[in-house]
Chains A and B, each alone.
Chain A
Amino acid sequence: MIEFFQSLIRYRGVLFYRTIASLRADARRLYLGYIWWILEPVLNTALYFFVFAVILETRTEDFIGYLLLGTTVYQWFQSSVVGTMGTILERAQLYRQIPLPKYLFSLISVFSSTWKFLCVFSIISAYAMFTSGSSVTWAFLWLPILVTIQLLLIFGLSVPLAIGSAYIRDLQTFMGLIFRAGMFLSAIFWDISKVPENLKLVFFANPLASMIQAFRSVILDGTAPNLYHITYVLILGLLLIQVGMVWHRKIDLHILKHVES
């Protein structure tokens, strides 16, 4: 695990400049460029609002803020993790030339998704606070902690999924299903209080449900997040990083021989 944080420090320059380059390259490719960062969550939210508030008439208090927070946090998670799958094959040429950790380009993809998230998230939080009438409280000090915990969880999933998807490409398809399921199970567009009491433990075992709930309680209610939930996600994240690193050490110098690219 320490090895992982050491390589973050060792490759910080590469990570920093490659992240900027990839954000710029993404924006350059698209006609609307950076506008998509904010347009995507807004359109998603509009869709959910239409289906769930207008047609099905199930809504919570401050439903728009509730939806916006849920979608951006989940979008950050999904795009980071999906983005890391396939990076080893995409960068095989480079990995065959220079001895590098095989998760280096996963990290770049995670960091660019994270940067997008932070930009959008600050705008959306301000909006959610404005509509819910809450104000900046001490609870906001939790935000950097929550972001860090979720980032660790993302790292933890990225390394094993980047390796696994290089060996078995089916994993990418399979994870698409998992993410769709996760979207329904993380209470993004329905009221979390509808979960029956006896199922709460199972429900919050989904780390994203716990994280989204934590973000909402800080921004919408101005209260501290549930400590059990975020500690659980933190431990899960660190554990997954450890698993990823052990696996990486095993395959680092062999994986490029056994994958098709």
Chain B
Amino acid sequence: MLKARNEQNRDMGKNRVNPAIIYTDDFEAEDTVLECRGVGICYKKPLKLGKSSDRRRREFWPFRGVNMVLKKGETLGIVGRNGAGKSTLLRLLAGVTAPDEGNLFVRRDLRVQLLSINLGFEKILTGRENAIMAGMLLGKSREAMLERIEQIKEFSELGDFFDEPVYSYSSGMRARLGFSAAIEADPDLLLLDEILAVGDKQFKEKSRKVTRSLIDSGKSVVIVMHDRSFINKNCDKVLELDQSN
């Protein structure tokens, strides 16, 4: 008992020294996709002349010490109040930001796709051009994207708007475009940030149906959503973030 505790302490000490995202194939369980150990993220307010430079005042930790394991084919729901760090955690899982404490272990060559309402589209380019570019940024070749583009167009149901610049889109149409491009990219792990809650009723139903079929086909999905009933119905695990820690 005592020994275990010591080891844990040593582990935590180690984590504090070197918080990082570690890409590895060395997991306890063979079907683990990613694992968080004592993960925390810290936001710092930018320095400004005349404002306090006190470290503790500038720092803000939305969450600390988060532990979780996600396995292949599992669905994780993340819930919590506004500002609890749900989107921050998703960005961490997507490999866009690194933890400020603890370690995130990610299986090597895992294709992760993060989808949020605020998609990074180039507004002056058309939906078609944006979809191609999105795939290229994820490492696909232009040729491969050109082959898939008609499918993306069909799935998005944007019709003629697909060849219009994105600035003319409504927010629902942007979500359609992003969702269609992401599904076509065929990720192993899909991170959905409130995306199932946008668009009209018909697209909402469609995107939820597709998400369910993804879950059934053995992909891992992490969902951030305020609709608790959808989460309870569809997720194997629920992670609750609250600011108390």
Contacts and interface: CB of A to CB of B under 8 A. Distances in A.
Nearest to A16: B142
Interface in A9-42: 13-14, 17-18, 21, 25, 28-29
Contact of B98 (A93, A98, A254, A260): A254
A196 interface: no
Given A13-B142, A99-B94, A257 B44 contact: yes
A98 B46 contact: no
A93 B119 contact: yes
Contacts of A256: 91, 96-97
A94 B137 CA distance: 10
B124 A94 contact: no
A49 B142 CA distance: 47
Interface residues of A, number: 26
Contacts of B119: 93, 97
Nearest to A166: B46
Contact of A17 (B41, B94, B115, B133): B133
A258 B133 contact: no
A177 interface: no
Contact of B97 (A13, A93, A257): A257
A167 B136 contact: no
A100 B96 CA distance: 8
A97 B125 contact: no
Given A93-B119, A260-B46, A99 B136 contact: no
Contact of B142 (A17, A100, A167, A254): A17
A253 B98 contact: yes
Nearest to B115: A97
A14 B120 contact: no
A22 to B, nearest CB: 9
Given A21-B122, A91-B120, A95-B120, A14 B133 contact: yes
A145 interface: no
A99 B133 contact: no
Nearest to A255: B97
A98 B114 contact: yes
Q: Which of A93, A94, A259, A260 has the most CB of B within 10 A?
A: A94
B96 A253 contact: yes
30 contacts: A13-B136, A13-B142, A14-B133, A17-B136, A18-B133, A21-B122, A21-B129, A25-B125, A28-B124, A94-B120, A95-B120, A96-B91, A96-B116, A97-B119, A97-B120, A98-B94, A98-B114, A98-B120, A98-B137, A98-B138, A99-B96, A253-B21, A253-B96, A253-B97, A253-B98, A254-B98, A256-B91, A257-B41, A257-B42, A258-B43
Interface of B: 21, 41-44, 46-47, 88, 91, 94-98, 100, 114-116, 118-120, 122, 124-125, 129, 132-133, 136-138, 141-142
